[in-house]
Structure formats: C-alpha cells, structure tokens
Chain A
Amino acid sequence: MSSMWKKTAGAALLLTLLSGCHRQIVTQTTVSTSGPIRVVFIPKNSGNPYFDAVNTGFKKASGQLGFKYTQLAPATAEATNQIPIIQQQIQNGVNAIAISPNSTDALAPVLKQAMQKGVTVITVDADMTGSESSRNACVLPTDFSQVGSSQIELMGSLMGYQGKFAILSATTDAPNQNFWIAGMKQALKNPKYSKMTLVGIVYGNDDPQKSLLEAQSLLTRYPDLKGILAPTSVGLAAAAQAVESARDAGRVQVTGLGTPNQMRRYVTDGTVKEFALWDPSAMGDLAGTLAYLMAKKSVQPAPGVHFQVPSGGSYQFGPNNVLSTGPLLTFSKSNIGSYHF
C-alpha cells in the first residue's frame, strides 16, 4: 500500500518535472459550423422575474429567426456560478453566448476563452465595464445616461418638487446602480430641483427582507420624508410594501424602477402612483437577434455601424459596441393593465 502511494507520488512529481509547465494556448475552434445556430442566454440567477421577461424576448427572436435557444441560469447570483455554465457551453459547441454578468472581473478570463474558440459573446443588461475586450458587443436596455435624470424628474413630479427624499438601492457596489445614482446627483444640481433634498442612500442588497427593513427604517428615521426612490425592482416592491404597512401612502411617494407584475398591486391600491422601466422583453428580442446575426457573421459590430433588425427597426452601435434598446416606459394605473412582465 505504502509503496504504491510512493510510486504514484513519484510518478506525478517526475511527470511535472519532465514535461515542464506551460500555459495552455487555445487555438482550435470548437464551434459547430453545421446544423442550426445555437444561442444560450445566461441570466444572473434563476427565479428572477426580470430575467423571465428577458427570456420571453429571446424566445420570440428564436421563433422568428429559427435559431436554437436555451436559457441556463445559475442557482444564485454569485460571481463564480456562471463560470462552469460558460465552460460547458463552449464545450457544447454553442455559437453565441448572451450573458448578464454577475461580476466583470471574475468572468473576463473565461469569456475571453470563449471568444478565442470562436464563440460570439454579447453581454445583456449590464456590461463588462473595464474589460470590454472580453465580449464582442453589449445590449443595454436603455440609454443609461438618461436614467438618473428621468428618475429624479419622476420623483420630483410626484412630490411636488420639494421636500426630503431617500434612495433605496441594491448593493453598495452595483455598477449600474451607482452609475444611475451619480446621474441622479448630477440632475439634482438643476435649479428646478433645488427644493428637493436627498437625505440618504440606503442599500437593501436586493434581498426582500433586508430591503423592507431599510425602507421601514427610512420611514421612522425621517418622519417628514416625502419620497423613496428605488431604482431596483426588489427595492421598489419592498419600499411600496413598507409604505403600505405603515399606512403612509398619502405622505410618502414611492417610485423607481420595477416590473409591472411585481408592482401591480401597489399601483392598483394607490400606494405607488407612477414608476418606470424599460421593456426587458424588447431587450431580449434585440439581444437574441444580434447574437444570431453575429454568429452567422451577417453583422460586424463597430462603433457607429447601423444594425438593421430583420423585423424592422434600426439601431446604431455606440462606443465600445454598445446598443441601447429603447426608451424608459412609465407605468401608472391607466396603462399598467396592458403590460404583462
């Protein structure tokens, strides 16, 4: 027994010394060139209603253009959980990977591997900021530079452009959230909003329980609070729930970004008058179409290039090959009935 172990260990050691270590260089292309084009979408996590809507859009594009589409979600939104899925899909010879990255830095190496093997990689909903070279193109839901100012306008119009309000965000380091919050702070410098005071920014980690706790704490900490602005769907629902529980609906205005399905009740019962979001299914549709056409080599993204969608509509690639899907939609009691995502 002992000698066997020693031999094995010796052999392993010898092998290491003999062969010398080297970094693996990827050269061969594994992407299948025959058969239908295969596209996978990897959302941040499964069971997330927002990505269900994005998935609908992908399915629609797949039905119209005739490519094979699969959605594969990691169980939880941790940075590393998407890595095995990406590797498996590379091995499966998928033609295009669309991904909503959970972490830019942690995913960059494996996405680069995918690109080296000839897989088309596009990011959806959020970009690989700082590592743009690890994806071919990016589809964002809307022009992010406008989100901050339009959210402030929405909040302002609801609270009569005066009084105290607070922001309920996701995590302290969520790139999209921080970008939008910076936009909001910028917009607040406009004299139009001079009577509005941002009293604080709190973070609910996109966890329903935590977000509710934070929203309740805002209500008790600032008895004269006029508004809560939550640019995240979990936070927005939690803020509405907190205001409803505290029976504060008249006093505190709640708005932000959320899906109609999650907000329907609060809009119907008057807790929330208006809130906004882009159309996630349109984003899925656009991303699916782009992934398919790029995998077919019909589209070569480059800044300034126009991208003609077969079903109609034209988009222009911005800097870093970013496409933005469409405008923000505002939902209220009058129109929420016609949206189902």
Chain B
Amino acid sequence: MKSSHSIFWRNEYTLAALTVLALLAGSRLSSHFLDAGYLLGTTTLYVETGIMALLMTAIIICGHIDLSVASTLALTAAATGVLHAQYAVPFWLACCLGMLLAGMLGALNGVLIVGMNLPSLTVTLGTMALYRGAAQILIGDHSVGGFPAWFCGVDQVYAGPFPVTLLLLLAGGCAMALFLQRTTLGRCIYAIGNNKTASRLSGLRVGAVEALLFTLSGLAAGMCGLLMASRLSVARFDMASGKELDVITAVVLGGTDIFGGKGGVAGTLLALCLLALLRTGMGLADIPSEKQQIVVGALLIGAIALPRLAELARKQYMKRQKPAAAG
C-alpha cells in the first residue's frame, strides 16, 4: 500500500509555500496579524503539540501510531498535581515521579504492542481512554493547583525575543532530526517502518526499538504535561483533550507516510508552523472555531489526497502514452 510521492518535488517545499501563503492570507484577513512579537508569543500555545509531534514522527516512521499522547499528558500533570497538593510530596520530587509515571505509561503501550503483538492503533486507542479516565478518577472535574511560583508561567519566560519553550521545541527538533538522520538507531527506525520482516531477519532488535520509542513518546508527553501545567498553573483531567489529532495532523501534513518508512522532523515542524499560522490568522479574523475545524480537516485530507491523485493521474497518462509509443 505504499505509493511514492514525486521524487523531484519535496514535500517540505509545498509546506514552505503554503506557510508563505498562510502568512499572506493572515495579513489580508487581519491588520493585527503581522506582529512578530505576538506571533512568537502565540507559539507557546503550540509547543506541547510540537514536542509530542516530534516523537510521533519517529513512531509513525516506524510504522506505528500513538493515540494516547494527549491522555498521557493529562494523567502526568494530574498525578504530579495530586502528589504535591494532596500528599505533600516536595514539588521537584512530584515532578520526577510524574515523569517516571509518564515513562511507565509509554512503556505499557510498548509492552502491549510488542510483547503481545497487538496493533498500536487499538492499543493506544484503549490507553487513550484509560489514561484520561485514570486522570478523571484521580481529580474529577477539579483543577489541581498550588504549584510553587517558580514553576508557573513557563510560557512567559523569554530569552531575548524568543519564548524559551519555543527554543526548547526547536532544540528538541534538531536533536530528533540528528537522531533520525545520523544515528544507527535512527536509521533502524526507517528500516523497520519500510519492512519489518526484513529488518527482523537482518538481525535488528525490532521489538526493543519499538518499545523504546513508545516509552520515549510517553516521557515526551509527560514533559508536555508539566509544561502545560506550568502554562495554566493548574492541572485538569481534560487538559489537551483531542490534541492527539493535532499532533497526528502535524506529522502527516508534514509528509511522514502513515504506513511508515518515510518522513522527517523538518516537515512536521513546518506543518505545525503552518497550522499555527492558519489558526491564529483565522482566530484574529473572528472566524468561528467550527469553520476553522473544517479548514484544518480539509487541509489534512487535501495534503494527502492531492499528491496521490496527481500520482494516479500521471500513471494513467503514462499508461496511455506507452502503447502509443510502442505502436
């Protein structure tokens, strides 16, 4: 089921062009759009999505999917908050325990998927409900707050003109890109995504790599949970609810093949940038959220469907050309 995109037109170019278009459209829609300070400030809303998307890129390249990231985020934040607020655990320790939990949640996904050889889609669909449900059991509809002052408002911390969380995301992006492109383990991920059986036969420890990725994804989501708790200065069970869709949209829009084996971090980050610009532009233009949903949904489908349709049309054309040339 793998269809190749055109070789000479990289997906990143399309995205860059679309991003420029979104910038133009945004400035047409609202006179308040082209304000560098504001645009940099809004990026803090998308940092958590971005960090989760980095790991999701690797997971999708590996031929899997992780729908449970947003729920892991919420459960980590909730557990950290409860440990600190109800059990008076020192905050730094609560954070560490929260991260430990996040790693375990990711590892549980890994164990079920690798150990029991279950499809990642259903496993993480189950844990998506289970983890958020667990957060709900923990704190119900309450907001758990009372974090120390130094912890709150990480999105307000700037390094020069840049929000630190944005720099964190970019640094994470560079690290992930290096990992995927330059390390043996990174290349293994592509190999597994391309052909699992062949990878296994050639001696790769496929299961170990997959389990590691899911654990890392859990850890990343946990970190995002702490970031978001800091941004909101509270933890709630419905934090980032539905964000897994945004994460997957960014990755797939960024050109990573949902069937695995192909893709990269640069595309994911560009796609995220495009989505953020679109949302911001439409929001500033007072376009209702329901219409924004339609645009994002159409963009996701269009980004996948159009290249495939173009490829189909090209094949049809070639088929018709061949007999003509032969005759």
Contacts and interface: CB of A to CB of B under 8 A. Distances in A.
Chains A, B in direct contact (C-beta < 8 Å) = yes
Contacts of B145: 105
B236 A21 contact: no
Given A21-B157, A79-B239, A172-B140, A12 B171 contact: yes
A149 B89 CA distance: 41
A46 B175 CA distance: 40
Interface stretch (B118-126, B185-193, B251-259, B277-285): B277-285
A16 B181 contact: no
Counting chain B residues whose Cβ lies within 8 A of the other chain, the interface size class is 35 or more
B279 A84 contact: yes
Given A16-B167, A91-B38, A106-B143, A22 B174 contact: no
A283 to B, nearest CB: 22
Interface in B252-309: 279-280, 283-284, 286, 288-290, 293
B227 to A, nearest CB: 13
Contacts, number: 121
A298 interface: no
B158 A79 contact: no
Interface in A88-147: 88, 91-93, 103-106, 108-109
A199 interface: no
B159 A21 contact: yes
Contacts of A75: 289-290, 293
Contacts of A21: 157-159, 164
Interface residues of A, number: 45
A271 to B, nearest CB: 29
A106 B143 CA distance: 8
Interface stretch (A1-9, A157-165, A179-187, A231-239): A1-9
Contact of A173 (B142, B156, B177): B142
Nearest to B284: A88
Given A2-B182, A83-B45, A103-B143, A91 B234 contact: no
A92 B142 CA distance: 32
Given A9-B171, A74-B289, A79 B178 contact: no
A170 B174 CA distance: 46
A234 B53 CA distance: 37
A309 interface: no
A84 B141 contact: no
Nearest to A88: B283
A12 B167 contact: yes
**Which of A75, A172, A174 gathers the greatest number of chain B CB atoms within 10 Å?**
A75
Contacts of A92: 30, 32, 284, 286
A84 B45 contact: yes
B6 interface: no
Contacts of B182: 2
A195 B280 CA distance: 58
A174 B142 CA distance: 8
B178 A2 contact: yes
A73 B143 contact: no
B241 interface: yes
B18 interface: no
B234 A106 contact: yes
A202 interface: no
5 contacts: A5-B177, A15-B167, A72-B286, A75-B293, A105-B234
Closest 3 CB pairs of A and B: A173-B141, A19-B160, A88-B283
